Structure 1
Amino acid sequence: MAKYSLNKEEFFIEDYNKAKSFCSFLPAISGKFGLPLWCFYVNRAQGVVSLGVKDKDHSLLEFLPANKSLFSVFYQGFRTFLKIDSNFYEPFRIPRKSPLRQVMKVSSSFLEIEEENKKRGLDIRVRYFTLPSSDFASLVRIVELKNITTRPRDLEIIDGLPGILPYGCKNLFLKDLARTLEAWMQSYLNKELAFFKLKVSPQDIAQTIYIQGVNFYFSCFFSKKNEIKFLRPIIDSHLLFGEDSDLSLPFNFADKKFNYVKKDLLLGRTPCAFSFVKLRLNPQESFRFFSFIGSAEREEEVVNFSKKLSLSWIEDKFEENKKIIKEIQQKAFINSSLKTLDFYTQQNFLDNVLRGGFPQRFGDKVFYLYNRKHGDLERDYNRFKFEHNFLSSGEGNYRDINQNRRQDVFFEPKVFEENIRLFFNLQRLDSYNPLVVKSPKFIFRDKESFKKAFFEFFVSELLKKLEGMVFSEFSLSEFMRFLKENKVSSKLWEELIKRVLSFSKKVEQADFGEGFWIDHFTYNLDLVESFLAVFPDKESELLFKEEYSFYDDFC
């Protein structure tokens, strides 16, 4: 029988594999200057069942609806295979006879599972979090094994994914042409780092388009002297499972004669992403290793990243990830006699941010981050999408963004009447509004504004390149990409963002989507009421400004 408890800000589920099923996700927030990764999990097996970047067309683990996720996670999610003194064992399965302690710890910023198996003499913990403030998106998985017996144990460990998708696999191909798609798959090793991509685009078009991005996987641990050591990678599932096509048991590994064979290249088959290590654990000794699973625009980014890794850096990133989420939640901090209410309120605010966005201040200006359409395992019909870039946000439905910004002026008064102007200006003459609201774009209208914004920061050559971009519509994410590609110091980023917001003209973006709606204007009245509650003296200014117009979509 499952037991539930709350400790500080973490929710515990004892015997989670036998608890009522549920689906959830990590928040896909990586800070202002990080790339988000979406990650869905269930309370079965090792939790994580789907992950990727940007949208369903950029998956590392195929997006699966809730009903399929709950059984697929046992075979297609993360797996750990152990040989303890030559005896095979797979943790985190549903316990049958042997008494196990299995606990899931759910937090706003990370997920953790633990299995204590006294019969096998091991305690195993797994933690997941998304990498913040990085040049590429990655899930970080930390696995720790502890010998809880009074004698040494010899271990062989295989840990990772039975299948990982190469970069370039679109969702439609995965659903309808998964076998055909394998013909384009290419997996290879760069030393101990594994990379996965389609060789070229599988689209039936006249020209050949080479795939530039990569998905990646690698694992490492740190010696007692804090020296980094990489685990040996396995990218061909046949080396482990043999002809066991249902992936239920790695027959080759379970065999006592198993020998690790390094395969540097795999073509024409869906790859796996496992790591292998052999070691001896003394009584009460622990072994901890770290896996990185993600997506990057270039292989070199991952190679350079792996050379700079340190134990303290990973631990700092875990704390930074918690801090980013906590700073958002602190906007809705309350301290009542009921702690569950305190935590619920902050979590509820975070959920609102994930739909409506977070009003991030840059000087006197505000820019919304993190909003996206609310796709999850149970809302499988939604085609969620968010920008795969710094200052990431995404498109959402008019009503969803509107209703989740109703109280923003209380939490961030600098929002002022911005949301009122946005949503009223998207009303057509017939009172309909477009379904999809996108991230705004910006444009510089005159040379004088451009000079005031940038002349003191850039040399003439860079100013010419920038001028070619900002005198037509551009997004802040595109502006950040420009700064990165031209190696502008990150110390200047925030000031340059302030300059864009102060001297350029904002151009709101919307789209028909799946239709126009007539009943959503009622939410606009909530925005007005909230504004007047904070700024009652601004009523006349609000009502009689000449900044309002009807939306004209040329339909």
Structure 2
Amino acid sequence: MRKVKLGSQVLQAQAMEAKGDFVNFEGQAFYRIQKVNALPPFFMTLVSPYDHWLFVASNGGLTAGRAEAENALFPYYTDDKLIDNAAFTGPRTLIRAENKDDQSLSLWEPFDPNERGWYQIERNLYKSLQADQLVFEEINQDLQLRFAYRWAFSQKHGFVRDCWLENLSDQNQKIECLDGLENLLPYGVETLMQDRRSTLVDAYKKNELEPETALGIFSLSSNIVDKAEPSESLIANVVWSPQKPDLCLLSSAQIKNFQQGGDLEAETFTKAQKAAWLALRRWDLKVGQKVQWSLVAEVGLSTAKVHNLKAELQAPGIAASLEKEIAQSRLELESLVAKADGLQCSGNALVQSRHYSNVLYNIMRGGLFESGYQIDSQDFKQYLKLSNRPLALKEQSLLDSLPAKLTYSELLSFVQNSANLDMRRLASEYLPLSFSRRHGDPSRPWNRFSIQHLDEQGQKILNYEGNWRDIFQNWEALAYSFPAFIEGMIFKFVNASTVDGYNPYRIAKNGIDWEVIEPDDSWSFIGYWGDHQLIYLLRLLEHCEKHYPQKLAGLCNENCFVYADVPYRLKSYAEILQDPQDTILFDQALHAQAESRFKEIGADGKLIWNADKPLRANLGEKIMLSLLTKLYNLVPGGGIWMNTQRPEWNDANNALVGQGLSMVSLYYLRRFMAFMLDWISNDEGEWHLNSTLMALYKDLNLIVKEHSNKERFSDSERKDFMDRMGLAGEAYRQLAYRGELGVKEPLRLKDLHEFCEQTLELVDRSIAENRKENALYHAYNLLALEEKEAQIEHLYEMLEGQVAVLSAEKLNPAEALEVLDALKASAMYRENQYSYLLYPDRQLAGFLEKNRIRPEQIEGKQLSHALLEKDVQGDYHFKGQFRNAKDLKAALEKLALEDQAEAVDAEAKFWFELYEQSFVHREFTGRSGTFYGYEGLGSIYWHMVSKLLLAVQENLRAAKHNGASADVLGRLIDHYYEIRAGIGANKSPQLYGAFPFDAYSHTPSTAGAQQPGMTGQVKEDVLNRWSELGLEVRAGQLHLDPFFLAEDEFLQEGRSFKYVDAAGQWQSLDVEAGELAFSYCSVPFIYRKAQKAELRIEFFGAAPEEYSEQQINEKWSRSLFDRHHEIQVIRVDLPLH
């Protein structure tokens, strides 16, 4: 490598590799990435137990604020801009060290993103294991100085930045340090205003320094409005320091002067420019001396609060108060995670930290039951008013009789005193969750978050919100720690489903929401996702049946369920055939009616109403509607027809809408049918379905019976099957949309069992047809429709298909191993990350390679001059405005009107075929095949990898139950740990590109991990963790069989394990060497390696009980699930392998 000079300065090249380790920093546990600048900048989330949000890049670029993006301290931009803006947004530090020889100054700017090798430096990044603090450290080997700063949270004061400067040399050093924050926002700048009109915002900026305390006050001269009326800005953002500096700057204007050795002049007022708060401090640092200072920033202070803060700063003790507030913030965050069983004591520190992180992000998306099963009756009453004001008024006397505090089960018993079914429904689906927010951040700009923490009286707000297809998966993991709330989760799920068998877009405590067409937003669209409808509901039902057998059966004929009044109307079957990509009408009148009812009644206004009450259903009807809706869209041999204008799990496969067939949904339908067969196998009872749904069931039953023994469908037979099923579905929808559901009719479960068996035979044959020669399975297929034929074309292989078929409960262990072996040998395996792509990577044609037509291809064509351009080499190219065949069609139609009708008639077919030959849009699956990040080409999508791990784990446990050989079990265990090794916790920072214990959404081929934290992956990882620890619930009993738990999980040295018990109190236990500990339902479990299996349950105030079997009987399992706080600890001796 050749030397590089800048002027006379030789730049110092540094070969680096990032490494990670666990360390203590200022007495607290952190994970450190050494030489973090060896990695491309990556993005992170710091988490507060309150309403702070802070998104930060590893190069220091950040945005932060309270509650939502509109309350920002720094501009809220997308993550790429935050990384690019690190040089002038957020922390800025400039250090001048005096050289004793000639009194010259050495200038050092720690964390300068444009650093080119002026000094020999080392940059390290530390993240607390609780995810609440981040430390940036830079060591200057030439100047022998170390500088570090830490971000932390204070509920009372906001965002705290502590700084340290240490003299590492063997002589005293004279130091001047200019340190603070740049590009601070005044309060009241909306994100859209800052993004589009930031130059206008600057004109309103007014930056002031209160001289007695150096309190920086950042406000607008007035609110930015275009109306000709006054609009005072009476709220400000502030920055201050407990250690008063020598002088302060309110802008960055004098930085250049400081860099060049000049003196600074204090600034007490600046205007019409970007704000800063920069403090000058001077020290004579002794050998080994370390100095510390802090600065604090907060958003949204009124005039009175600023006066109060000034008075507080003039009193002593503020620095000590900050440290206590930071410690309290950490403790409260850790408590939230502990209540969801996120704390463990394992010999593998990365696995332990990863579980904490997974649980943290799971409850951030789905929420947490902070008080366990305890209900605050005041919140329930308020929830009832928000849901149904007339009902709350009508039931006032019952509500008044509620005690101030009661349990969830007590609440359900209490409302049985009301004859009103809506009271039963609303009480059941009442979920006292907090800490929840949509997974929006600068790397996910399409989602907007709102963190609701405290109300105006300072009381904790219980609230949750999320995309419907996201929040239920987080609830599934949460339900393992709070099993009794599974009933409420199921109520919330099915009561948000429509009369045509689908679900809305968003869900929250105060109801549901759906998408509307927004003409100015090109991303605006409407439709229903498919696969989530089945698998999410199924997993909730499975969980309920395992923990509380017979609970579901009791709900199947209880008419306390309802339908969401989403104003979408699926078109007729004939219209869907004509254009399968345009199948849903948005009923504006229905939308307006629902919104009007919402304003009048509350959240129940968005339900379908039948006269003076919501239209009723029972759980059996809800389950059957979900199943039958998928079934009447079955295309034999191909999958479930995706004809509701939305893709499935993978949004990026959006072009499959209409022409796509989902084997993924069919695999999940297969698992649903298997569950049904097992669930109702010995039930001689009956369900009561409305006559319209019963008619649909009978129609489909007849069609299925006729085809249950059919080995393979011809194209014409397939189309006939489709037509009959599709028309049956249409007949149901027409009546259902009019509210004509009819009276209840009995359906014998014996008959339903037979129907499920025959449907399963039909489904299994389609699955068999989709097995490829290489043992992999198709995920999606293409449907080509003719008047009397339906043809199926296969697409390339996808990871999603292998995950779904492994989850379908169709494959035996040997077949599962064939899939896993084939997957490892496939082009989906990305060797450098030892993990799996969503689909094989491929090289897209270069710009000059595509859209190239030889002259002989168009010889004699009259319309070539109108549709093509000729280049200097004599080749032809479609004109640039032809983005797709629709544009080409529009151009041909226009030519037909311009005296070219005869030529258009003669050549139109040719031009369409040539266009398709050039671009192969028939195989276009969506943006998944045209971009390189997210779910795109060459990208690993970690959620699907963890889904794969979960599927392997389920097959592994099934194999164990079914008596598989040791060899088969061993191979499945090998696959499990190989796949897990590819997931972050087992990787170095250099390979992962971020902190390895944090979940990230995806890893493109060109960068490290992207989109931090709030990904669906965390749910799968939590479930897998419980299985590794051997926890399995069957028939209401907890079984403990950690037969594939890694040996390194057991401690080498004893230590204390702290957890939060079922009463919400911190507790601790001593865990010895050779043991490991974790909490489950807030009860501690301690595993110990021993000669023989033994289980010991220790109680509060009662003698312990010992068992030779590794399972907990139904009585104590129920006590555990219901958090009765009777069990003190469960100790399990595991026989040595």
AA at the equivalent of 1:348: N
Q: Map residues 190-201 of structure 1 onto 2, 5 A cutoff.
A: 190-191=210-211, 192-201=214-223
Secondary structure of the residue that 2:433 maps to in structure 1? strand
Name the residue aligned to 1:266: 270
Q: Map residues 238-317 of structure 1 onto 2, 5 A cutoff.
A: 238=253, 240=254, 250-263=255-268, 265-305=269-309, 306-307=312-313, 309-317=317-325
Give the CA deviation at 1:527.
2.0
Instruction: Find the partner of 1:521 among 509, 513, 533.
Output: 533
d(CA) in 1 for partners of 2:57 and 2:529? 37
Q: Does 1:323 align with 2:334?
A: no
AA at the equivalent of 2:293: F
Which structure shows the higher helix fraction?
Answer: 2
The 3 A distance-change label for structure 1 pair 230 and 301 is farther
The 3 A distance-change label for structure 1 pair 266 and 543 is farther
AA at the equivalent of 1:104: L
- 1:516-535 deviations in whole A, cap 9, x for unaligned? 53424321232222233222
Segments of structure 1 that go 5 or more residues without pairing to the other structure are 31-35, 222-228, 241-249, 441-507
Name the residue aligned to 1:87: 106
Name the residue aligned to 2:932: none
Give the CA deviation at 1:536.
2.1
AA at the equivalent of 2:52: L
Name the residue aligned to 2:354: 344
Secondary structure of the residue that 1:517 maps to in structure 2? coil
Give the CA deviation at 1:552.
2.8
With 517-526 and 175-184 compared, the bigger mean Cα shift is at: 517-526
Name the residue aligned to 1:457: none
Name the residue aligned to 2:677: none
Give the TM-score normalised by the residue count of structure 2. 0.39
Q: Map residues 167-246 of structure 1 onto 2, 5 A cutoff.
A: 167-191=187-211, 192-205=214-227, 207-221=229-243, 229=244, 232-238=247-253, 240=254
The 3 A distance-change label for structure 1 pair 324 and 538 is same
With 296-305 and 140-149 compared, the bigger mean Cα shift is at: 296-305
The 3 A distance-change label for structure 1 pair 512 and 550 is same
- 1:96-129 deviations in whole A, cap 9, x for unaligned? 1532221101231110111122321311111111
Q: Which structure has the bigger radius of gyration?
A: 2
d(CA) in 1 for partners of 2:53 and 2:358? 19
d(CA) in 2 for partners of 1:513 and 1:345? 34
| C-alpha contact 1:143 1:288 (8 A) present in aligned 2 | yes
The 3 A distance-change label for structure 1 pair 174 and 100 is same
AA at the equivalent of 2:364: L
Secondary structure of the residue that 2:88 maps to in structure 1? helix
AA at the equivalent of 1:63: Y
Instruction: Find the partner of 1:98 among 104, 116, 119.
Output: 119
| C-alpha contact 2:219 2:236 (8 A) present in aligned 1 | yes
Q: Map residues 488-527 of structure 1 onto 2, 5 A cutoff.
A: 508-513=510-515, 515-519=526-530, 520-522=532-534, 523-527=536-540
| C-alpha contact 2:171 2:286 (8 A) present in aligned 1 | yes
Instruction: Find the partner of 1:14 among 30, 34, 38.
Output: 34
| C-alpha contact 2:363 2:474 (8 A) present in aligned 1 | yes
The 3 A distance-change label for structure 1 pair 51 and 213 is same
| C-alpha contact 2:56 2:63 (8 A) present in aligned 1 | yes
Instruction: Find the partner of 1:380 among 441, 445, 468.
Output: 445
Give the CA deviation at 1:356.
0.9
Name the residue aligned to 1:483: none
Instruction: Find the partner of 1:166 among 183, 186, 196.
Output: 186
Tell me the C-alpha RMSD between the 2 structures.
2.5
Secondary structure of the residue that 2:73 maps to in structure 1? strand
d(CA) in 2 for partners of 1:545 and 1:201? 55
Name the residue aligned to 1:468: none
Q: Which has the higher contact order (CA 8 A, sep 6+)?
A: 1
| C-alpha contact 2:95 2:109 (8 A) present in aligned 1 | yes
| C-alpha contact 1:410 1:534 (8 A) present in aligned 2 | no
Give the CA deviation at 1:429.
1.2
Q: Does 1:424 align with 2:489?
A: no
d(CA) in 2 for partners of 1:117 and 1:512? 55
Name the residue aligned to 1:459: none
AA at the equivalent of 1:397: N
d(CA) in 2 for partners of 1:236 and 1:335? 48
d(CA) in 1 for partners of 2:503 and 2:237? 39
Name the residue aligned to 1:543: 556
Secondary structure of the residue that 1:293 maps to in structure 2? strand
- 1:48-96 deviations in whole A, cap 9, x for unaligned? 4212223332222112323223232133231101121243221123461
| C-alpha contact 2:246 2:282 (8 A) present in aligned 1 | no
The 3 A distance-change label for structure 1 pair 98 and 527 is same
d(CA) in 2 for partners of 1:524 and 1:200? 51
Name the residue aligned to 1:367: 432
| C-alpha contact 1:40 1:50 (8 A) present in aligned 2 | yes
Name the residue aligned to 1:503: none
The 3 A distance-change label for structure 1 pair 425 and 516 is farther
AA at the equivalent of 1:373: R
Instruction: Find the partner of 1:355 among 365, 370, 387.
Output: 365
AA at the equivalent of 1:312: A
Name the residue aligned to 1:489: none
Secondary structure of the residue that 2:180 maps to in structure 1? strand
Instruction: Find the partner of 2:140 among 108, 114, 117.
Output: 117
| C-alpha contact 2:205 2:273 (8 A) present in aligned 1 | yes
Aligned residues: 459
| C-alpha contact 1:106 1:112 (8 A) present in aligned 2 | yes
d(CA) in 2 for partners of 1:76 and 1:280? 29
Secondary structure of the residue that 2:448 maps to in structure 1? coil
Q: Map residues 62-73 of structure 1 onto 2, 5 A cutoff.
A: 62-73=75-86
The 3 A distance-change label for structure 1 pair 354 and 294 is same
The 3 A distance-change label for structure 1 pair 117 and 260 is same
Name the residue aligned to 1:50: 63
Q: Does 1:78 align with 2:114?
A: no
Give the CA deviation at 1:209.
2.8
d(CA) in 2 for partners of 1:127 and 1:299? 29
| C-alpha contact 1:407 1:530 (8 A) present in aligned 2 | no
Name the residue aligned to 1:127: 150
Name the residue aligned to 2:52: 37
Secondary structure of the residue that 1:279 maps to in structure 2? strand
| C-alpha contact 1:234 1:275 (8 A) present in aligned 2 | yes
Give the CA deviation at 1:165.
0.9
Give the CA deviation at 1:345.
1.5
Give the TM-score normalised by the residue count of structure 1. 0.77
- 1:211-233 deviations in whole A, cap 9, x for unaligned? 23211111223xxxxxxx46643
Give the CA deviation at 1:381.
2.6
The 3 A distance-change label for structure 1 pair 121 and 530 is same
| C-alpha contact 2:61 2:87 (8 A) present in aligned 1 | no
The 3 A distance-change label for structure 1 pair 534 and 312 is farther
Give the CA deviation at 1:412.
2.1
Which structure shows the higher strand fraction?
Answer: 1
Secondary structure of the residue that 2:33 maps to in structure 1? strand
d(CA) in 1 for partners of 2:542 and 2:303? 51
AA at the equivalent of 1:88: L
